[in-house]
Amino acid sequence: MATFVLVHGSWAGGWNWARLRPLLTAAGHRVLTPTLSGLGDRGHLAGPDIGLSTHIEDISRLLDWEDLTEVVLVGHSYGGMVVTGVLGRVPERLARVVYLDAFRPEPGQAAFDILPELPGLFGEPPAEHPWGWPPVDLAILGIVEPADRDWMARKCTPMPVLTHREPLPSPQKQADVPITYLRGAAVPFFAETADKAEADGATVTSWPDAAHYLHVHHAARTAELLLGLEEATA
C-alpha cells in the first residue's frame, strides 16, 4: 500500500480530487486530500496573513502528525509551489514528488515571478475581501463543460493574495527525491516549467489533448500514471 498526498491548486480544496481519489483508493492505497488554510472548507480561516509559507506548514505538519513516510506527494497548479516547499522541509518523508501541470519554483521565486502575466489575469481583489482574488473565468483553465463549471463555481473560494506574492523559502534540507512532471499541453501555462523540469532530470510526460485540470477531465488516465509511478518507486 502506498500513501498519496494530493495538494490542490488555487481557489480549490480537497474536494477538487473527488474523481481521482476513489480510483487510487480502489487500488488499495491510502489517499489524503487536505484543504489548504483559507480555502474550501477552511475558508473561514482566510485573511491577509495566509500565504505560501502557511500552506507549506499545512502539508509538512500533516506528514508529521500522521507519521507518514514514503509518500507520493502530488501538487496541481499552485500546489506545485507548496509541494516544492515541503520537499525542502521534509524530504525524508517523501518517495516521489509529482507535479500536475504545476508551478515548480526555485528558492526566492514567487508564483508571479514564474508566470508574470497572472497579475493582469487575476485583477485587483474586491473591496469586500481585499486579501483574496475571486476565481478567474474557468474557461481560461479549460473548464468548459457546463456540469464541470457549475461544480467548480459552487465550491471555489477566494485565493489569498500572499500565496502568489510570497517567494519560496530556501530549502532547509538537501533532497534526493525522484521528480515527475505531467503537463497538460492543451493549455500552455507551464510549457517552460516542464522543459526546465526535464533539463533538471525530472521525468516529464506531456498530454497534448489535456487541459490544466488533468485530475478532473482525465481522472482515470491520471490514476494510471500515478499507480505506475508507485510501482516503479516500490
Active site residues: 77
Helix (H, G, I), strand (E, B) or coil at 76: strand
Set of cell numbers at residue 223:
490514476
d(CA 157, CA 124): 16
* DSSP string covering 41-65: GGGGG-STT--HHHHHHHHHHHHHH
d(CA 102, CA 195): 12
Residue at grid coordinates 506548514 = 57
Please tell me what DSSP assigns to residue 126: P
Q: Alpha helices, DSSP H only, in the chain?
A: 21-26, 52-65, 79-89, 111-114, 118-122, 146-155, 162-165, 191-199, 214-217, 219-233
CA distances from 202 to 26, 149, 175, 181 (A): 28, 32, 13, 7
d(CA 52, CA 207): 28
Instruction: Let me know: does 22 contact 51? Beta carbons within 8 Å.
Output: no
d(CA 157, CA 40): 6
